[in-house]
Amino acid sequence: MEHIAIIGNGIAGITAARHIRKQSDFRISIISAEAEHFFSRTALMYVYMGHMRWRDIEPYEAQFWQKNRLDLVQGYVEKIIPEENTLFFSDGRHMTYDRLILATGSRTKFFGWEGMELPQVTGLVTKQDLERLGRLAPDNIHCPRAVIVGGGLIGVELAEMLRTRDIAVTFLVREKGFWNNVLPEGESMMISRHIEAHGVELRHETGLGKILSDEKGNVRAVQTTEGEEIPCNLVGITTGVTPNIGFLKGNGIETDRGILVNRMLETSAPGIYAIGDCAQQREAWGNRPTVEAVWYTGRMMGEVVARTICGIPTAYQPGNWFNSAKFFDIEYQTYGWVFPDIKRRSREAHFHWRHKNDHQCVTVAYDEEDGTFLGINTFGIRMRHPVLDSWLTGGKSVDFVMEHLHEAGFDPEFTSANFQDIRRAYRSELKSTTT
């Protein structure tokens, strides 16, 4: 029986394993050094916040793995010899495989700051990061002040986590507004205000210079790029993630930032595939970056590679881009492409609507020459994925989308709908630009 080994038990690896099991009788081994069972990485924050216990963020019960003959192997793979189809573990064990899937995910990207090796400096990517946070920041007596570096999705999660324990948080953001390299300005500034309303001290256009320690070797403060010293007991590094591929050095598998794969998700070594955050497409897919560190793309690559492994060669061919997140109390969804001002394409025009409550807004991107709908960002308004997906695929016009936007609403019943206001604002803006 063919043996499929999967390194990594995150969403990519587990999705691949589930779909291989659905379609085949292969022996499947899932290897992880991080956690005994698959867990939802995006839910790490809820354990610290006390919304859920660890076992609640594991999507499958313990018996699931045995029942579906998915062998879980605990161990850290140190070396791969592709020519011999063999993996070597750090504890001396080894394992042979017929085909191998690399799904090792991401790790925190550190920028080599002075002091980053101090014990109170942490990212928020792994189970071990969560455990570290539990130790370092149990409450605001042991950890009165924290500084978070990097204004992205993980940074705002960490800020929300620490605020639930009344820890003072200073958030250093390099851009003018929160996540301004992804969000258009109106949205970015609204989220910045929301973050501040939750008691976070937001420092825009400020970066980390170095981390300062006291005589015992503990974090005492950070120094910003402006030279200011901010005292703190914890430094959260959330300046992004990078493929977790250190163990592949010298194994003969081609890498760049990530493990290089072709459309079939094959690496340069025969029989070895790479999926999820650790993979880097040799050729970019439309507007997508070549390394996509997103839950959904991990899942999608897992689905595709499973088909290839089970005898139906299938290329990774993602559909319309979508994503979602939550910034404290404000949910965010995006469908298609809406670029921030700095990255805007030549014909990309935006319509922006913001509710006077400053908690809801919508940005619609369209082609200003032919009026094609390009994408939508919504904040505080839930949208229906299948509907927007079909509009994007069907190349609908922005006028059509604005007239039918209510059909794509997904908020709970009785929610007072804003769609009428949005449509009215769109029409009046249209009028003012045509006259």
Q: How many residues bind other proteins (CB under 8 A)?
A: 76
384 near other proteins, rule: CB under 8 A: yes
Residue closer to other proteins, measured from CB, 124 or 172? 124
Residue closer to other proteins, measured from CB, 206 or 297? 297
Q: Least Å distance between CB 54 and other proteins?
A: 5
Could you give the residue ranges of the DSSP H alpha helices within 148-232?
A: 153-163, 185-197
Say if CB 118 and CB 112 are below 8 A apart. no
C-alpha torsion angle, residues 205, 209, 214, 215 (rounded to 10): -170
Residue closer to other proteins, measured from CB, 224 or 297? 297
Q: Least Å distance between CB 348 and other proteins?
A: 23
- Alpha-carbon span 206 to 131, nearest angstrom: 28
Which H or E run contains 280?
strand 279-281
**Beta strands 121-122 and 234-237, pairing class:** parallel
Q: Which residue has the tokens 């570096």?
A: 149
Residue closer to other proteins, measured from CB, 21 or 79? 21
Q: Which residue has the tokens 């400096």?
A: 121
Residues 183-222 that bind other proteins (CB under 8 A): 197-198
- Alpha-carbon span 250 to 223, nearest angstrom: 37
Residue closer to other proteins, measured from CB, 68 or 218? 68
Stretch that binds other proteins, among 95-103, 179-187, 246-254, 329-337 (CB under 8 A): 329-337
Q: Least Å distance between CB 226 and other proteins?
A: 30
Residue closer to other proteins, measured from CB, 198 or 210? 198
Residue closer to other proteins, measured from CB, 56 or 228? 56
Other beta carbons within 10 angstroms of residue 146's beta carbon come to: 29
Q: Least Å distance between CB 201 and other proteins?
A: 17
Position among 3, 24, 27, 40 found at the interface with other proteins (CB under 8 A): 40
395 near other proteins, rule: CB under 8 A: no
Stretch that binds other proteins, among 111-119, 174-182, 301-309, 340-348 (CB under 8 A): 301-309
Stretch that binds other proteins, among 77-85, 227-235, 293-301, 345-353 (CB under 8 A): 293-301
Closest of 53, 240, 48 to residue 159, by C-alpha: 48
**Beta strands 86-89 and 94-96, pairing class:** antiparallel
- Tokens standing for 173? 């953001």
**Beta strands 259-261 and 234-237, pairing class:** unpaired
- Alpha-carbon span 212 to 194, nearest angstrom: 30
Residues 41-80 that bind other proteins (CB under 8 A): 42-43, 46-61, 63-64, 67-68
Position among 66, 94, 225, 315 found at the interface with other proteins (CB under 8 A): 315
Stretch that binds other proteins, among 104-112, 179-187, 263-271, 318-326 (CB under 8 A): 318-326
Residue 188, sorted as left (phi over 0), alpha (psi -120 to 50) or beta, turns out to be alpha
Residue closer to other proteins, measured from CB, 46 or 110? 46
331 near other proteins, rule: CB under 8 A: yes
- Alpha-carbon span 19 to 273, nearest angstrom: 15
Q: Least Å distance between CB 334 and other proteins?
A: 11
Q: Least Å distance between CB 339 and other proteins?
A: 21
Say if CB 77 and CB 71 are below 8 A apart. no
